[in-house]
Amino acid sequence: MTVVSSPQSGPKEPALPDNAKQFVSEMVKHELQAEEKDHSHWMYRLHREDDKGAQDRQVIETKDGRLAKTLLINGQPLTADQREKDQERMQKLVSDPEERARRERRIKQDEEKAMQLLKAIPDAFIFKYEGTEGELVRLSFTPNANYSPPTRELMVYHSMKGKLWVDRAAMRLAKIEGQLIEDVKFGWGLLGHLDKGGTFKVVQKHVGDSHWETVSLDLNMQGRALMFKTINVRQKQVLTDFHRVPDDLTIAKAFDILQKGETSVSANSHSGK
């Protein structure tokens, strides 16, 4: 590990910008451009844990939306009743365009919020180079007191500090982790708050064909919502075993693949690429 006191780089790379904010801004710009251009679809295995328990799913992205088959619940194979209910859930998504549209609208809204959070990072924080770890540049961030968050979600940045790692060659965000250094109050506390000490960690990697994906997510937050309901935002996700699938893959075909228990499908076999 090399501490970066005066930002330098290897002989084949240009020097890092003296202004760390400029470097982060360039990374965010590249992230947004890559996200806009990348329309590839993938199959992967998803492990998710939250307050309700743990699930493992095989997920396939299609031109009609995502379809996932539940493989394990709390580490155990599904019972006959659970398999039947999971089958019914998948069949409803395949056969009901309105249900798919509702689900995709929710996903789209979540993605748009994630993009807003990403876009705001350069202005919301003060950055400092901390060092390099192989191909990654490590920076610390603390709240920018002059930042005025335009949405309720972005208010959390005023109470957050942490570190982020940037893949220098790809100019992509490889990892970000942080914690709440004070309580976050929404609507002067009337709408709720998140407690000081909450943490998060997100890891992103290149999984093939110039596609980067969030492969690990770990959230641990707690607070109070409107009417004093305790809220727990404790969630872990790990994505593994990525395989690209055809760009024109339909959700009906994905259902067939999941029914047969296939764990990979060639992107070339259907798309003609």
Closest CA to 132 of 218, 219, 5, 235: 5
Q: Which long-range contacts (CB under 8 A, 24 or more apart) does 250-256 make?
A: 250/62, 250/63, 250/64, 251/62, 251/64, 251/65, 251/67, 251/93, 251/94, 251/100, 252/94, 253/62, 254/60, 254/62, 254/67, 255/67, 255/90, 255/91, 255/94
Please say if the pLDDT value at position 265 is more than 80: no
pLDDT value, residue 261: 81
Looking at the chain, the whole-number percentage of residues with pLDDT higher than 90 is 70
pLDDT-derived band of residue 271, with 50, 70 and 90 as boundaries?
Answer: very low
Please say if the pLDDT value at position 224 is more than 60: yes
pLDDT value, residue 12: 55
Per-residue pLDDT of 109-132, as tens digits, reads 888 988 999 999 999 999 999 999
Question: What is the Cα–Cα distance from 217 to 214, expressed in whole angstroms?
Answer: 7
pLDDT value, residue 226: 60
For residues 133-142, give the mean pLDDT: 96
Please say if the pLDDT value at position 139 is more than 50: yes
Per-residue pLDDT of 158-199, as tens digits, reads 999 999 999 999 999 999 999 999 988 765 554 577 889 999
For the chain, how many helices (H) and strands (E)? 5, 13
CA distances from 94 to 61, 86, 251 (A): 13, 13, 6
Instruction: Domain ranges for the chain, please list them.
Output: 20-262
pTM as predicted: 0.84
Please say if the pLDDT value at position 227 is more than 60: no
Q: How far is CA 115 from the centre of its chain?
A: 10
Q: Supply 200's token pair.
A: 């998060």
pLDDT value, residue 155: 87
C-beta neighbour count of 174 within 10 angstroms: 22
